Amino acid sequence: MTRTLLVTGATSGFGRACAELFAARGWRLVLTGRRGDRLAELQRQLAPAEVYTASFDVRRRDEVEAMYAALPEGFRDIDVLLNNAGLALGLAAAHETDLDQWETMVDTNIKGLLYMTRRFLPDMVRRRCGHIVNIGSVAGSWPYPGGNTYGATKAFVQQFSRNLRADVHGTGVRVTNIEPGLAESEFSLVRFDGDSDKAAKVYEGTEPLTPADIAEIVLWTVERPAHVNINCVEVMPTCQSWASLAVARKS
């Protein structure tokens, strides 16, 4: 039986890579994002896979509800919800940052995930099957200068995933949080407001994770037998590890 995957933030990075991989495996896809032109291009690229696209903003609760209501027959029973939409903005210290950037990260990384989960989870519980896969980050566990609100939103994703797992205990619904480290995608380009030079320096001299790496991990988690739940996957490239604790010394 063909299974259905819904991906938020499918127009680039992890989301696009997941769409490509799952389409190749014969899944039916619901691909969402704010850039309708990119969604249309991706739908054409993935033909003859069964793909439905919806252009909307996960930060808008009314738009999430409208998208759900408009899903056509054949795409309504979502087997896997991949909450991938998210972003980091800026790298300024907390006392110097732009408050609008903080609000955008909270609205996207937290509220968008909540709206999508709350909309589709009841159907999964009713059917006694389904899988919520959240894209977190190592930043949710390991702080770094300038990570402030971004890291805090991903810590929310981590703890929400754990609590969600507790809530759906006994329903057959599975929950997984995937926490990537350094990965090369449009992430840094967005973080630095389109400054490609700054974005490139993040990956200079490294061999980071790729969106394809993360897509393979997502596929692996959802293709485990129904009695197996992968709670969390924290993954870094080999070139990345934890830094030592910082100590400020008197001069």
Profile the chain (251 residues) by mean pLDDT over runs of 10 residues: 95 96 98 96 97 97 98 96 95 95 97 98 98 98 95 98 98 98 83 79 92 97 98 97 91 82
At the topology level, CATH places domain 4-235 in Rossmann fold (3.40.50)
Share of the chain above pLDDT 70, in %: 100
Residues labelled catalytic? 150
Closest Cα to residue 173, out of 184, 185, 182, 164? 164
Rg of the chain over CA atoms, in angstroms?
A: 18
80-83/4-7 β-pairing: parallel
Q: What is the DSSP string of 5-52?
A: EEESSTTSHHHHHHHHHHHHTT-EEEEEES-HHHHHHHHHHHTTS-EE
Q: How many residues does the chain have?
A: 251
* Sign of the four-CA dihedral 240, 241, 244, 248: positive
